[in-house]
């Protein structure tokens, strides 16, 4: 299996630290707002990474952290006039609601930053003692000049970091690129005790400590959106190297941007769509399909026409299963012949090549085509088996049956509309006939000022 490693800038053969096991850490949400559909792309993709490793027989430990203390939460708490802890609770709940609506199963661990403060203080103290960190007025900074390898992930050079756009200006710092490890708290802000006074940890420190604590000092895969390469992941690596002498994760994977009219979708640019709003308009599987039909490292444009097309594509796949009455044969024994195996191999080959989901989806459609023309249940089984690796068909029963219910409801509404037309034309005989025929099926119509309602009275 090959994975593109941002650290080495090439596709590498994936060799797990421990045979048969893979540990994955994904930088999770900062709980200060509902997450946007660009974040959803990252969360959905790493769900597939986890899923695929499982499919290939690996034992996976998947960690996604939650940042529940940060400047952004403090700003939001002032805006909403509720305590920081309430902001965290509100948006952590929303995060779980939205990931659940997206059809993303739970991670194994969701460490909250505020539960690891003691370990963070210990790490910062260690960095200070080793000469990598310095304190000024209760704030502690990491000195990038002390780190010979700084820039190893992003390729940035220390001399280019002179108060660049993404480096905050601060007269306390020895170098403008030095980053905050501990921040002194202002009155009323969340605070914890430390050797440097009351304050809170910096974001980059949180992830080093939590990944280490749950996955060990060295683990397999660290993931996130491409915007986390610098400064977040670079600064995580700096601390890990300063502490242990080695980089904590061996493979660094980054998902591409979701653009909107060519510009990166982000909260700071205020050009985003919230995942929960998009989910009101489109099915979760259509959104998943839209993202997975492009390579995860490519930038893509948010495009509702393409989401609609994705929705239609999913409907087509479901209609094939429906026509074959798949649920009836769901538990049948599967016997894959050579032709089935060949397609399965193509799917695996695509996914083994740095998770080429776009190619994997094209294999699904090849299988769908053959399923339709051959009516071979084993192809249908293969379609479902491989589709589920990409997170499709996970609620097959409900999906195949709900759709039928929905059609029934639409048919009843259609008859009600016809009855309305007959009434308008004063064709009482036909209007009554529709009412009575529906009644004999156990469907009772009731005329109200707001229109005709119906209920099942069997």
H-state helical runs in 228-295: 234-244, 275-281, 284-292
Maximum Cα–Cα distance across the chain: 93
Is-contact 202 122, C-beta < 8 A? no
Q: Which stretch binds Zn ion (CB under 5 A): 72-80, 204-212, 255-263, 275-283?
A: 204-212
Nearer residue to Zn ion within complex by CB, 27 or 383: 27
Residue with tokens 């539960």: 115
Site string for Zn ion, 221-260 (x = CB under 5 A): ----------------------------------------
Q: How far is the CB of 27 from Zn ion (least distance, A)?
A: 3
Q: How far is the CB of 200 from Zn ion (least distance, A)?
A: 16
Residue nearer to Zn ion on the CB measure, 208 or 314:
208
Please pick, from the candidates 74, 87, 117, 207, the single residue that binds Zn ion as defined by CB under 5 A: 207
Q: What's the CA gap between 120 and 206, in Å, rounded?
A: 7
**Residue with the two structure tokens 């909403």:** 80
Nearer to Zn ion, 134 or 203 (CB): 203
The span from the CA of 446 to the CA of 453, in Å, is 5
Backbone angles phi, psi at 95, to 5 degrees: -60, -45
**How far apart, in whole angstroms, are the C-alpha atoms of residue 415 and residue 317?**
29
- Closest to Zn ion by CB, 207 or 313: 207
What is the closest distance, in whole angstroms, from the C-beta atom of residue 415 to Zn ion in the complex? 56
240 or 286: CB nearest Zn ion: 240
144 near Zn ion, rule: CB under 5 A: no
Q: Identify the bridge partners of residue 223 per DSSP, sorted by sequence position.
A: 26, 253
Nearer to Zn ion, 33 or 371 (CB): 33
Q: Which two tokens stand for residue 308?
A: 């609609």
Contacts of 96 (CB under 8 A, 6+ apart): none
Write down the H helix ranges in 245-303.
275-281, 284-292
Question: Cβ of 220: how many Cβ atoms within 10 Å?
Answer: 24
Site string for Zn ion, 18-37 (x = CB under 5 A): ---------x----------
> Residue holding tokens 């009219």?
261
Q: How many residues bind Zn ion (CB under 5 A)?
A: 2
- Span of 5-13, 52-60, 183-191, 200-208 interacting with Zn ion by CB under 5 A: 200-208
Stretch that binds Zn ion, among 201-209, 268-276, 325-333, 442-450 (CB under 5 A): 201-209
Instruction: Compute the least distance from the CB of residue 300 to Zn ion, in Å.
Output: 23
Q: Residue 102 in contact with residue 283, Cβ under 8 Å? A: no
**Whats the size of the chain, residue-wise?**
458
Nearer to Zn ion, 143 or 235 (CB): 235
Residues 347 and 332 sit within 8 Å (Cβ to Cβ): no
Residue number, 207 or 274, with CB nearest to Zn ion: 207
Residues 395, 102 contacting (CB under 8 angstroms): no
Q: Which stretch binds Zn ion (CB under 5 A): 15-23, 161-169, 206-214, 369-377?
A: 206-214
Between 181 and 350, name the residue whose CB sits nearer to Zn ion: 181
Least distance in angstroms from the C-beta of 182 to Zn ion:
17
Site residues (vs Zn ion, CB under 5 A) = 27, 207
């Amino acid at each position: 299996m090959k994975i593109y490693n941002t650290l080495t800038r090439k596709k590498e053969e994936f060799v797990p630290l421990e045979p048969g096991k893979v540990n994955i850490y994904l930088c999770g949400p900062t709980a200060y707002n509902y997450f946007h559909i660009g974040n959803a792309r990252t969360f959905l993709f790493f769900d597939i990474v986890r899923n695929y490793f499982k499919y290939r027989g690996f034992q996976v430990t998947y960690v996604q952290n939650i940042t529940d203390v940060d400047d952004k939460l403090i700003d939001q708490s002032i805006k909403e006039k509720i305590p920081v802890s309430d902001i965290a609770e509100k948006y952590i709940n929303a995060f779980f609601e939205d990931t659940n609506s997206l059809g993303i199963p739970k991670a194994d661990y969701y460490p909250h930053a505020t539960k690891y403060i003691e370990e963070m203080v210990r790490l910062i103290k260690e960095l200070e003692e080793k000469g990598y960190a310095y304190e000024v007025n209760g704030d502690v900074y990491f000195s990038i000049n002390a780190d010979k390898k700084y820039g190893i992930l992003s390729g940035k050079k220390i001399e280019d970091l002179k108060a660049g756009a993404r480096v905050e200006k601060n007269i306390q710092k020895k170098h403008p690129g030095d980053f905050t490890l501990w921040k002194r708290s202002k009155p009323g802000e969340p605070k914890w005790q430390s050797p440097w006074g009351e304050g809170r940890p910096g974001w980059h420190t949180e992830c080093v400590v939590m990944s280490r604590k749950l996955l060990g000092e060295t683990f397999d895969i660290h993931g996130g959106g491409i915007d986390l390469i610098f400064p977040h992941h670079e600064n995580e690596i700096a601390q890990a190297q300063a502490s242990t002498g080695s980089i904590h994760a061996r493979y660094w994977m980054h998902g591409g941007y979701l653009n909107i009219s060519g510009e990166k979708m982000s909260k700071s640019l205020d050009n985003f769509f919230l995942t929960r709003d998009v989910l009101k308009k489109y099915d979760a599987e259509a959104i998943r399909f839209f993202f997975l039909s492009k390579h995860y490292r490519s930038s893509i444009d948010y495009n509702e026409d393409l989401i609609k097309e994705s929705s239609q594509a999913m409907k087509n796949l479901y209609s094939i299963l429906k026509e074959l009455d798949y649920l009836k044969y769901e538990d049948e024994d599967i016997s894959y012949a050579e032709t089935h195996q060949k397609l399965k191999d193509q799917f695996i080959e695509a996914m083994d090549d740095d998770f080429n989901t776009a190619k994997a989806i094209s294999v699904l459609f090849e299988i769908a085509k053959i399923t339709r023309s051959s009516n071979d249940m084993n192809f249908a089984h293969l379609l479902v088996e491989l589709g589920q690796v990409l997170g499709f068909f996970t609620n097959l029963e409900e999906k195949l049956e709900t759709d039928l219910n929905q059609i029934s409801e639409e048919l009843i509404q259609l008859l009600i509309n016809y009855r309305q037309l007959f009434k308008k034309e004063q064709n009482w005989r036909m209007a009554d006939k529709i009412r009575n025929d529906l009644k004999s099926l156990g469907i009772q119509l009731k005329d109200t000022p707001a229109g005709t309602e119906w209920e099942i009275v069997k």
